[in-house]
Amino acid sequence: MEYFKAEKIYLKNSTYDEKWLQDRIEEDATILGLGDLVVIQRERKQPTGGRIDFLFHDPEKAIMYEAEIMLGSTDESHIIRTIEYWDIERRRFPSKDHKAVIVAEDITNRFFNVISLMSHSIPIIAIQLNALKVGDKIILDFTKVLDVYEQSEDEEDLVAETVDRSYWEHRSNQKSISILDGFINSISGKYQNPKVTYNKYHIAIGTQKQNFIWFRPRKTEGYSHVTIRIKNENAERMKKLFDEMEISFNQRKEDVFAFSIYLKEFNENKEKIGELLTIALEQYS
């Protein structure tokens, strides 16, 4: 291979504008390094009056990405817009996991620290664009500089302060809690005395041997996020059940499924949820 020295350039100071960059991303969204994404819409109009640069979807992982592209250095308005648009779209599509994406040519230490702090409560990804000139050609290199959620810990390894049920009743909605109770009742019909542990971070449910389901009831009425661990060999059975229930899921690892569910969906799919829990119980009973 022949060596060529590359010259770093800033698109903001060149003849290449933001539209040109968006065209390249729309042609091949894989250059962002987030996977084989589908472009749902470019310049998607928001009810607040602004337009989000890109709304992407990863159909395999059921994740939607709200991405804002900026030439030059990121600033306060760039960060605020990204988070605002992320919040709007996650409310439009509550059954999907959502991630906010900031793309800029320069993410300074100041704003990197701000984004890093926000990532503790908002699933936000920061990508720095490096434009390189090699001869008469230009190379676009997208480097992910922050993706805290990609490296999250296993639910069972998280150490959290134990609380009581009233903590979650105050923190969430009563109809959201009823989804939790529905799962507990279904498990009780298959396994006597399931273990329920109320922590500040989540509510863990399992047998006396091991936890295998983690709940986060939400303030949104009748809505909860659920993570379930199963054996690898049962993964395909789980996928089939989710498809039959028409519930989107995110397979974080081969044996971990995360999904959000409404009370209406739970009531309509009690039998299939029972099958799902039977599969999970098989490994720990």
pLDDT tens digits, 211-267: 889 998 988 888 888 989 887 778 888 888 988 988 877 776 667 888 888 999 999
Give the model's pLDDT for residue 257: 86
**What CA–CA distance (Å, rounded) separates 43 from 68?**
10
Residue 9 tokens read as 């350039």
From 86-90, 108-112, 237-241, the region with the lowest mean pLDDT: 108-112
Question: For 267-277, what is the mean pLDDT?
Answer: 91
Beta strands in the chain (DSSP E): 7-9, 38-45, 51-58, 63-73, 97-106, 124-134, 137-147, 195-198, 203-206, 211-217, 223-229, 249-253, 256-262
pLDDT tens profile 130-139: 999 988 889 9
155-281 folds as: Aspartate Aminotransferase, domain 1 (3.90.1150)
Domain limits of the chain? Answer: 7-151, 155-281
Residue 149 has pLDDT above 60, yes or no: no
**Residue-wise over 255-272: b if at least 16 C-beta within 10 A, else e?**
bbbbbbbbbebbeebeee
Give me the count of residues in the chain: 285
Look at residues 228, 194, 197 and name the one whose alpha carbon lies nearest to residue 212: 228
Q: Do 7-151 and 155-281 show the same overall fold? A: no
Has domain 7-151 been given CATH number 3.40.1160.10?
A: no
Give the model's pLDDT for residue 135: 86
Give the rounded percent of residues in the chain with a pLDDT score beyond 90: 38
**What is the maximum span of the chain, computed from C-alpha positions, in angstroms?**
71
Question: For 146-174, what is the mean pLDDT?
Answer: 70
Residue 150 has pLDDT above 50, yes or no: no
User: pTM of the predicted model, to two decimals?
Assistant: 0.53
Residue 156 has pLDDT above 80, yes or no: no
pLDDT tens profile 29-62: 999 998 888 899 999 998 888 899 999 998 777 7
Q: For 268, phi and psi rounded to 5 degrees?
A: -80, -15
* CB contact at 8 A, 72 and 105: yes
**What CA–CA distance (Å, rounded) separates 250 from 111?**
30
How sure is the predictor about 273, in pLDDT bands with cuts at 50, 70 and 90?
very high
